[in-house]
Amino acid sequence: MGSSAATTATFCATLVDEWLHCGVRHAVVSPGSRSTPIALEIANRHEIEMHIFHDERSAAFAALGIAKASGVPAILVCSSGTAAVEFHPAVVEAHHSEVPILICTADRPAELQGVGAPQTIDQQNLYGVSVRKFVNAEVADDSENQTWRPIARDLFATSVGKVRGPVHLNLRFREPLMGAAIDLPPRHEKSTVIKDKVVLPSARSLRELKKALNFKNGVIIAGPENYRSESILHLAESLSWPVLADPRSGARVPSKVVVAAADTILRDEGFSKKLQPQVVLRFGTLPASKVVNSWLANCGAKQIVITTTPTLADPDQLCALHIVGDIDELCAGLISERSNEQAQKDSVSWLDLWSSAETSAQKSINSAIADEPGLTEPGVARAIYALLPEASHLVVSSSMPIRDVEWFAAPRTGLRVHANRGANGIDGVVSTAVGIALATRQPTTLLIGDIALLHDVNGLIGLVIREIDLRIVVIDNNGGGIFSFLPQAQALDAPKFEKIFGTPHGVNIKMLAQAHQINTQEVANMSDLAEVLSQRGPWLARVVTDRQENVKVHERINQMVASNLR
């Protein structure tokens, strides 16, 4: 009994075996010596796809992308010291967006702590409140082998539990680091696939919800959540209520009840007053649109939020009722109880008002974009959303890309949209897209700005050998385009604004991509864009725009929408 290289290897092999039994199929590993025991045992299992990322920050966001796309946590491995610190941005994003990750940081044994040993820092509770659970595993000992499977299983169950998110296992390894695993402790005979516990809304909450559905003028906000879009749409049809569908919700599909152009419609103050609802039923998180959120905050309607976890996004503190439960089952129950046909008939005029506004807005957006002499950022976002093949994925960076897709993308089917909107940062977007492509092996397109690309340029390392279909469209306006829409742009003189907010970088993005042996293309018109989007990746296409002109383009589109609505 005791500790040895064989014991360490057996411990790690047991962890990996148990996670395999739980359904884990991906591991993201950054090279390092101290992490040898766990890395080797992952490599020994052919059932797990092992992805090597040189940069730990990039690795963590790739693990985030894998879990976002698959719903199953990946194992994330690094060596000791500051390598573990580099995981932190992705851990924070996973925490806020409720994405599961199994984080394994290698560490020095107790005798090397606090004595100046190289690559040794205090890794206990390194990520603070951003992880659902932290376990510090001391050097493995044979006498404790019956605890190894429960450790792995408990971490997995916590990660995919009531509030999904990252968990952290700190593994202290003593040299020698290479050993051969021997007999693994047996799996518990009652060990089965872990299932989420079903949360049932209270009877009082359901009564209050059903009462609210009797209002004639209601609006449904479909945000990203764990539900089938058909559930929301069928409920909306039974109520004759419009659905303001976020692109990430899966509900932005062709339907009379779906409104995709809510941002542009509600910018017209006069018309938005005609659309004041009596009740708002929101599924999932808030939209990215400041216009829509401001309208929600000022409309005076009773607001009900339904989510699958207890987490509530309500910065304006407007939620009168928060219901946690299975959204598909809840919608099905509500639809089956709808019997007041007259209420539906009375609501038709309300729905028609929204539907006609949506039709007018979509025609206006098309006309306004067509009138522009060259490619515009709204036009690129709208075209990409429309032209991508069926059964593909679109990853959208924060800042302007997520807003342009939300504001201007018209309804369609067969596309799944992803964005890191937990903490709303621009870091790790390239690597997140790589992770989504690795998990799905389906066509994946990334729409990203130049600053966000440069922020995660290490996500391009090794891209050409990963055998994934990743198509990267970069909006290159030589700086931070979103700041041109903020008050700072008018309040500051041009040189000061450019230095602090415009932040031109002067990087040749095409040469940067070519340094990674990635095929590149300059896109100058819509024909070029359509042609490149039809090609299998990996490739990078660069679209050059002007930040000041981009503000004017958005204003022209919004003015045309408002004019035609009036």
pLDDT in tens, 520-530: 999 999 999 99
* Shared domain check, 505 and 423: yes
Q: Which residues contact 293 (CB under 8 A, 6 or more apart)?
A: 286, 287, 316
pLDDT in tens, 321-357: 999 999 999 999 999 877 544 445 555 799 999 999 9
Pairing of strands 218-222, 166-172: unpaired
* Shared domain check, 218 and 270: yes
Range name among 49-53, 83-87, 272-276, 469-473 with the lowest pLDDT average? 272-276
Measured CA to CA, the distance from residue 160 to residue 100 in angstroms comes to 6
**Residue 50 belongs to a domain:** yes
* Shared domain check, 387 and 345: no
Query: What confidence score (pLDDT) does residue 486 get?
Result: 80
Measured CA to CA, the distance from residue 194 to residue 406 in angstroms comes to 35
Query: What confidence score (pLDDT) does residue 3 get?
Result: 77
* Shared domain check, 431 and 325: no
Look at residue 176 and tell me whether its pLDDT is greater than 90: yes
Give the structural domain span for 236.
203-360
* Shared domain check, 384 and 353: no
Query: What confidence score (pLDDT) does residue 489 get?
Result: 80
Measured CA to CA, the distance from residue 385 to residue 391 in angstroms comes to 12
**Residue 156 belongs to a domain:** yes
**Residue 557 belongs to a domain:** no
Query: What confidence score (pLDDT) does residue 496 get?
Result: 85
pLDDT in tens, 246-282: 999 999 999 999 999 999 999 988 888 889 999 999 9
pLDDT in tens, 286-310: 988 999 999 999 999 999 999 999 9
* Shared domain check, 338 and 427: no
Measured CA to CA, the distance from residue 383 to residue 55 in angstroms comes to 33
**Residue 104 belongs to a domain:** yes
* Shared domain check, 463 and 399: yes
Q: What is the CATH number of the domain that holds 319?
A: 3.40.50.1220
* Strands of the sheet with 218-222, listed across from one edge: 258-259, 243-245, 218-222, 279-283, 302-307, 319-324
Measured CA to CA, the distance from residue 461 to residue 5 in angstroms comes to 33
Question: H or E stretch including 236?
Answer: helix 229-239
**Residue 27 belongs to a domain:** yes
* Shared domain check, 224 and 149: no
**Residue 88 belongs to a domain:** yes
Look at residue 85 and tell me whether its pLDDT is greater than 60: yes
3-state secondary structure of 166: strand
Percent of the chain with pLDDT over 70: 96
Other CB atoms closer than 10 Å to residue 503's CB: what's the count? 13
Helices (H), 71-180: 82-85, 88-97, 148-159
For 420: left if phi > 0, alpha if psi spans -120 to 50, otherwise beta; the answer is: beta
Query: What confidence score (pLDDT) does residue 198 get?
Result: 62
Chosen domain end from 337, 360, 383: 360
Number of domains in the chain: 3
pLDDT in tens, 441-487: 999 999 999 999 999 999 999 999 999 999 999 999 988 888 888 88
CA distances (Å), origin 421, targets 3, 98, 417, 472, 491: 44, 11, 12, 19, 28
* Shared domain check, 38 and 105: yes
Average pLDDT, the chain: 93
Beta strands in 291-421 (DSSP E): 302-307, 319-324, 392-396, 415-418
CB 73 within 8 A of CB 111: no
Query: What confidence score (pLDDT) does residue 1 get?
Result: 46
- At 560, give phi and psi (nearest 5°): -65, -40
* Shared domain check, 234 and 93: no
